[in-house]
Structure 1
Amino acid sequence: MILEVAILNVKPGLSADFEKAFNQAEKIISSMDGYLSHQLKKCFEVADKYILLVNWETLEDHTVGFRASAAYQDWKKLLHHFYDPFPTVEHYLEVEG
């Protein structure tokens, strides 16, 4: 399993609109092959800042399957105009103990 972590800085004053758009966008991502689950969290200390956590079966499910899909274009139209700067996205693996 791969955890995608995205830091989302929403333009000031647009959080309510972003959250409404995300409610639509989460239907897109949750329908993708390899998608397992997601959480959107709003920062307590910094207004208009969020973190998006998405669990994928493989890295390629996100980087190729989702990002190269027609559905990703709909995701972009719904969400990308809210961000400044553009999100930082990283991928994490489970640490085996």
Structure 2
Amino acid sequence: MILEVALLQVKPGLEQEYEESFRKASTIISSMKGYISHELQRCMEVNGKYLLTVKWESLEDHTVGFRQSSEYQEWKELLHHFYHPFPTVEHFEKINL
């Protein structure tokens, strides 16, 4: 399992519209092969700042299966225009201690 993490900054004044669009976009990502779960959290200190985490079965399920799909084009259309600056997405793997 890998964890996709993105710190998102939404343009001022568009937070409510963004959250509504994200609800729609959630059905897209949750239907993808290798998807496990996701959460979107709103920052309490900074307006318009969100944390998105998505659990995938493998890195390729996200980077190839999702990002190279037609569904990703719909995801982009729903969400990408809200971000400034555009977010960096990183992937993490659990360390067994």
- TM-score norm. by structure 1 comes to 0.99
Paired residues in the alignment total: 97
* Equivalent residue letter for 2:67: R
| Partner of residue 59, structure 1 | 59
Alignment partners' CA distance in 1, 2:31 and 2:87? 22
CA-based RMSD = 0.3
The yes-or-no answer on 1:42 pairing with 2:45 is no
Q: CA deviation at 1:64?
A: 0.3
Q: CA deviation at 1:6?
A: 0.5
| Partner of residue 4, structure 1 | 4
Q: Mind listing any 5+ residue stretches in structure 1 that lack a counterpart? A: none
Q: What SS does the corresponding residue of 2:95 show, helix, strand or coil?
A: coil
Residue correspondence of structure 1 range 1-97 to structure 2 within 5 A: 1-97=1-97
* Equivalent residue letter for 1:17: E
Alignment partners' CA distance in 2, 1:24 and 1:79? 10
* Equivalent residue letter for 2:89: V
Instruction: Among all aligned residue pairs of Structure 1 and Structure 2, give the percentage whose two residues are the same amino acid.
Output: 63
Q: Deviations over 1:17-36 (max 9, x none)?
A: 00000000000000000000
* Equivalent residue letter for 2:23: N
Q: Mind listing any 5+ residue stretches in structure 2 that lack a counterpart? A: none
Q: CA deviation at 1:60?
A: 0.3
Alignment partners' CA distance in 2, 1:36 and 1:61? 10
